[in-house]
Amino acid sequence: MSVTPVIVERTYNATVEKVWNAITKPEEMRDWYFDLPGFKAEVGYQFKFIGGSESGVTYLHLCTITEVVPDNKLTYNWRYDGYEGNSFVSFELFAEGEKTKLLLTHSALETFPANNPDFAKHNFGAGWTHIIGISLKKYVEQ
């Protein structure tokens, strides 16, 4: 069974270079996303972080970068330690003059356990809408 991915699109008053740096430089990522010391935008690079749900449960996220096109696209797999499933998060950037359109796609959410409400598609949608629509926007437009 295939499920429509979560897609969040936003346009920022910032250059592609500024947005690319925000999504790939660990010293910038910690200001709007997660603290990922040593993060490298390189295929095969593995990283992890702990994130929680509204219910207070925390999950260890395990990720591996699968695609990098500088100033254009960053994709990594996203899974949870101890749980079935493997999804993919992709950030695509498009220059629009001095502005940048970002298209975030989180796919294969149906591979996560359906009996865990924390893995419901609407939770991913709400999370990415906040992260991309508020946190990243505020960071790159400051």
pTM, two decimals, is 0.94
- pLDDT at site 4: 92
Residue 91 CB neighbour total at 10 angstroms: 20
**What are the tokens at 87?**
């999804």
- pLDDT at site 54: 76
Give CA–CA dist 1/24, Å, rounded: 32
Q: What percent of the chain has pLDDT over 90?
A: 93
- pLDDT at site 2: 58
DSSP string of 102-119? EEEEEE-GGGS-TT-GGG
What's the whole-number average pLDDT of the chain?
A: 95
Burial code (b: 16+ CB inside 10 Å, e: under 16) for 51-89 equals eeeeeeeebeebbebeebeeeeebbbebbbeebebebbb
pLDDT band at 111 (very low <50, low <70, confident <90, very high): very high
Residue 91's nearest CA partner among 3, 8, 2 is: 8
| Cα 41 to Cα 24, 44, 64, 105, distances in angstroms | 6, 9, 10, 17
Higher pLDDT, 23 or 1: 23
Domain 6-35+69-75+85-140 fold is Alpha-D-Glucose-1,6-Bisphosphate; Chain A, domain 4 (3.30.530)
Q: What is the pLDDT of residues 21-55, one digit of tens each?
A: 999 999 999 999 999 989 999 999 999 999 987 77
- Spell out the domain ranges in the chain: 6-35+69-75+85-140
Q: What is the pLDDT of residues 84-103, one digit of tens each?
A: 999 999 999 999 999 999 99
